[in-house]
Homo-oligomer: A and B are copies of this chain.
Amino acid sequence: MSSVFTEISGGLNAPAGFLAGSIYCGIKATNPDKPDICMIVSEGPAVAAGTFTTNKVKAAPVRVSRANLRWADEVRAIVANAGNANACTGISGIETAKRMTSAAAKGLGLKSRQILVCSTGRIGVQLPIEKMEESITQLASLVHPSGSSAAAESIMTSDTVKKEIAVEVYLSSGPVRIGGIAKGAGMIDPNMATMLCFITTDACVEKAELQQVLSVSVEHSFNRITVDGDMSTNDTVLMLANGKAGNSPLRVGTADFEVFQRGLDHVTLSLAKMIVEDGEGVTKFVEVHVNGASSFSDARRAAEAIAKSCLVKCAWFGEDPNWGRIMDAIGYSGVRMREELVDIYYDGILAVKGGVASSTPMQKLKQAVSHDRFRVIVNLNLGSAEYNVFTTDLSTDYVTLNMGE
């Protein structure tokens, strides 16, 4: 099954013709020596695709990048900063985001609308654009063919590890490569997480097809993770494709398109899982899988209700297999259900049969919940629809980390 792709090293630079790098310009006040801006550049022409937060409060860079994605036929670079979200910053914020693209364009000899821009960090504070512009222009000459890790590190906020992956995908015409980096940590919720993800590929794909393959991939990865149920104003996934692999353009419906989709899905799902595992204060990584639902939307609502329940997540933190709280969450999710049909498993061990306690000894259930990673399976036994979500426990550290800036 997985022989259509292989994981390789190199991150964003694994695909041919991409440069990356980072620089310090003084936004992250608490980490004065750490780079806080990254840049990713295609050496030749490229097309781009993107998916953005569905929050109605959209950060300025989200608005600017969406417009550039829509109107520019060719996009060549991404510039992103951490430490300040440039959200709720009004007209000035839009101006600042545009000045970031102009500063990058100046250094790269491109037009500003060929640049996409992202920000992540505190909401409601203006970026110090004056001291950023020169650094961004300078960064354009510092990007290099092995800068992926530095870029991944520079966008970390409360992340504790950098998130990077690459795969080689075997199309009928030969291999192509996909690389990606991401940041996450807090405000993680489906549609999408407080996260940024940048993906490069040297495959030849046209703009519309790239958008399609990316949208499908995001739906199965970043839209299925939740840490705290808070959807951010800045969530963005951007992908650049420069065609340097020389394959014939990928067409929807072909076997190669499917293979490419699977390779990309591996990249996005891997990065999504890394975000959950590195969520703020996380001690448990939990997959919630709901099946037997009457409809896809019921399966999703039930899974998300469980994955977001404060009480369920506190119980997991305490390694307490408190399935009553799972039943409760399904009940208030509003999905079609019959209490007396519900079965619940922890890592394959039956906890609830027909809506009541199974005969499994509590000690055995406790053992399942004591693992760092486990899976909760809920069968509503009503239909055939299913959905899965990746989530976490809710720890005292999560609260402490989010008490103040």
Instruction: Give A residues with C-beta under 8 Å from B.
Output: 54-58, 85, 87-90, 92-93, 122-125, 186-187, 189, 228-233, 308-311, 314-315, 317-320, 322-325, 327-332, 334-335, 337, 339-340, 352, 354-357, 394-396, 398-400, 402-405
- Contact (Cβ within 8 A) A122 B88: no
Given B55, B122, B394, which contacts A332 in the complex, CB threshold below 8 Å? Answer: B55
Q: How far is the CA of A319 from the CA of B404 in the complex (A)?
A: 7
| Closest B residue, CB atoms, query A191 | B332
Which B residues are CB-close (under 8 A) to A399?
Answer: 314, 317, 394-396, 398-399
If the complex has contacts A56-B337, A402-B310, are A124 and B230 also in contact, measured as CB distance less than 8 A? no
Q: How far is the CA of A123 from the CA of B342 in the complex (A)?
A: 15
Given B88, B314, B319, B340, which contacts A339 in the complex, CB threshold below 8 Å? Answer: B88
If the complex has contacts A231-B332, A315-B403, A403-B314, are A124 and B324 also in contact, measured as CB distance less than 8 A? yes
- Contact (Cβ within 8 A) A88 B324: yes
Other A-B pairs beyond A315-B403, A318-B403, 19, CB < 8 Å: A56-B332, A57-B328, A87-B327, A90-B356, A123-B322, A124-B357, A186-B311, A229-B310, A231-B328, A233-B328, A233-B331, A314-B399, A315-B404, A317-B399, A318-B404, A319-B404, A322-B404, A394-B399, A395-B399
Q: How far is the CA of A323 from the CA of B233 in the complex (A)?
A: 13
Given B57, B230, B331, which contacts A310 in the complex, CB threshold below 8 Å? Answer: B230
Q: How far is the CA of A207 from the CA of B392 in the complex (A)?
A: 47
Number of copies: 2
Which B residues are CB-close (under 8 A) to A395?
Answer: 399
Which B residues are CB-close (under 8 A) to A90?
Answer: 340, 354-356
- Contact (Cβ within 8 A) B88 A352: yes
Q: How far is the CA of A14 from the CA of B310 in the complex (A)?
A: 38
If the complex has contacts A231-B328, A356-B89, are A187 and B339 also in contact, measured as CB distance less than 8 A? no
| Closest B residue, CB atoms, query A403 | B318
Which B residues are CB-close (under 8 A) to A405?
Answer: 320, 322
| Closest B residue, CB atoms, query A228 | B310
Q: How far is the CA of A87 from the CA of B330 in the complex (A)?
A: 14
Which B residues are CB-close (under 8 A) to A228?
Answer: 310-311
Given B123, B332, B357, which contacts A328 in the complex, CB threshold below 8 Å? Answer: B123
| Closest B residue, CB atoms, query A55 | B331
- Contact (Cβ within 8 A) A355 B88: yes
If the complex has contacts A310-B230, A403-B320, are A330 and B88 also in contact, measured as CB distance less than 8 A? no
- Contact (Cβ within 8 A) B56 A88: no
Q: How far is the CA of A329 from the CA of B403 in the complex (A)?
A: 17
- Contact (Cβ within 8 A) A88 B357: yes
If the complex has contacts A331-B56, A332-B55, A399-B399, are A311 and B124 also in contact, measured as CB distance less than 8 A? no
If the complex has contacts A187-B311, A327-B233, A332-B55, are A88 and B403 also in contact, measured as CB distance less than 8 A? no
Which B residues are CB-close (under 8 A) to A340?
Answer: 90
| Closest B residue, CB atoms, query A90 | B356
Q: How far is the CA of A309 from the CA of B243 in the complex (A)?
A: 43
Which B residues are CB-close (under 8 A) to A317?
Answer: 399, 403
With both chains docked as a complex, state the minimum distance between the C-beta of A353 and any C-beta of chain B, in angstroms: 10
- Contact (Cβ within 8 A) A324 B357: no
With both chains docked as a complex, state the minimum distance between the C-beta of A259 and any C-beta of chain B, in angstroms: 35
Which B residues are CB-close (under 8 A) to A355?
Answer: 57, 88, 90
14 contacts between A and B (CB under 8 A): A56-B331, A56-B335, A57-B331, A88-B327, A186-B311, A187-B328, A229-B310, A231-B332, A232-B328, A311-B402, A314-B398, A314-B403, A317-B399, A395-B399
- Contact (Cβ within 8 A) B56 A356: no
Which B residues are CB-close (under 8 A) to A328?
Answer: 55, 57, 87, 123, 187, 230-233
